[in-house]
Chain A
Amino acid sequence: MSMEILSCTVNGRPVEVGIDPRESLADTLRERLGLTSVKKGCEVGECGACTVLVDGEAIDSCIYLSVWAQGKKILTVEGLQDESGELSPIQKAFVEEAAIQCGFCTPGIIMSAVEIVGSGKQYTREELRKLISGHLCRCTGYQNILNAVERAVNEAHKFVGK
């Protein structure tokens, strides 16, 4: 199939990249733009490892065709660091709570956490459980992940409160 040009914004920067219309957004981000935080796990939209934000909404990039990203804003974990290379507060919360074991599911969950924290709302633990239910983690048992998301939400709220 002939190549097409995808113009979109990736991690705040305008990007023009040649794509094959058959490829998924996960393929484009990993193979063409080198954004390997986007993991390919199940590739059928079940595990959440490939989660990125498209126009602010967390989606599974493995079942999202790149041609649909035309003109949209994509955010991956690579876009979370500040200019000095410091981790974002959400990433720090994952480190502090030891919410990571093998790390394969982590970037996807962090992107869902970005959307959750960005909503500006506070959530019960049960609500958070539901909000991250589109991610599978085979190592941690989820408790520390929930602690980290909860911590990130609370810290953001504290900050907004000030």
Chain B
Amino acid sequence: MYDITSIYQARSVDDAISALKSDPEALVIAGGTDVLIKIREGKDAGCRLVSIHELREELEGVALAPNGDVEIGPLTTFRGCTFSDVIRATVPVLGEAADMAGGPQLRAAGTLGGNLCNGITSADTASTQMAFGAILRVRGPEGEREISINDWYRGVGKVALAHDELLVKIVIPKSHYEGWSGHYIKYAMRSAMDIATLGVSCLVKLSADKTVVEDLRLAFGVAGPVPFRCLETEKAMTGLPIGEAVKQIGASALKEIHPRDSWRASKAFRIQLARELSGRALAEAARKGGAQI
């Protein structure tokens, strides 16, 4: 039995928003894999919940919009993301990243929206969505607005979502994924059921002859308080031959990241991981894009 004061099961997104508006203390629960744990460990004990778990019709599933944008319902589970034909055809690296969270049962319950809304730096799908520059559509009592994922994170566990707003769509515009290939590396102590010690997602756009980095995206998880992109490194790698970029990217990324000591790993170890894994992620992303390296 969980220590919960009340649970309101929302009948629609708008119903959930009005329930949140009328209760400034209520917490949203979606997949439950995060919220229920926090209740059990006492952090959110005695809370009042607004459950959106059953709003699948409105909020679950991945679709390809007529203009080619990938539209992901935030209640889509990690599993649903990994096995989506649309994801596999357009942004396969996101499906691969989703397949590294927790274990199979968690991936069947945890959601992509939850992975972003809890504002956690170790979220396995966050760095890749950051690299893609996902657009987050949120709805509140006044209607909908769009926020770039680059403006989403406001601090540990804090995101640009008002109390009475819900994330209703994650959009990856066609222009952000077309011509790009990507690779995500999660480093953890165990190969399943573990939280990332460090995560790095690298996207690359190659020249026509597949030898030069035409454009690049590099985003980290657990290399700072929130997931974030290395904008300077992205610029610095542009125009370099792939082999050269693979050599330089790690050292460049180190100037931008701020990992810290935690009980999971030391700062020194995270720095070593970031340096080494950036190059590996870029090399693999380039290989997926057709480069011979």
Total contacts A to B, CB within 8 angstroms?
Answer: 85
Q: How many residues of A contact B (CB 8 A)?
A: 31
CB–CB B36/A63 < 8 A = yes
Is residue A35 within 8 Å, beta carbon to beta carbon, of the partner chain? no
Tell me, in angstroms, the Cα distance from A61 to B4 when the chains sit together. 17
Q: Knowing A22-B7, A63-B109, A112-B104, say if A68 contacts B54 (CB, 8 Å).
A: yes
CB–CB B192/A134 < 8 A = yes
Chain A residues lying within 8 Å of B79, measured Cβ to Cβ, are 57
Is residue B266 within 8 Å, beta carbon to beta carbon, of the partner chain? no
CB–CB A58/B51 < 8 A = no
B108-159 interface (Cβ within 8 A of A): 108-109
Q: Knowing A1-B6, A63-B36, say if A134 contacts B193 (CB, 8 Å).
A: yes
Q: Knowing A133-B191, A133-B192, A134-B192, say if A59 contacts B105 (CB, 8 Å).
A: yes
A14-40 interface (Cβ within 8 A of B): 20-24, 27
B30-69 interface (Cβ within 8 A of A): 32-33, 36-37, 40-41, 51, 53-54
Tell me, in angstroms, the Cα distance from A58 to B32 when the chains sit together. 15
Chain A residues lying within 8 Å of B1, measured Cβ to Cβ, are 20, 22-24, 27
Is residue A156 within 8 Å, beta carbon to beta carbon, of the partner chain? no
How close is A97's CB to chain B, nearest CB, in angstroms?
21
CB–CB A45/B53 < 8 A = no
CB–CB B4/A134 < 8 A = no
B1-31 interface (Cβ within 8 A of A): 1-7, 9
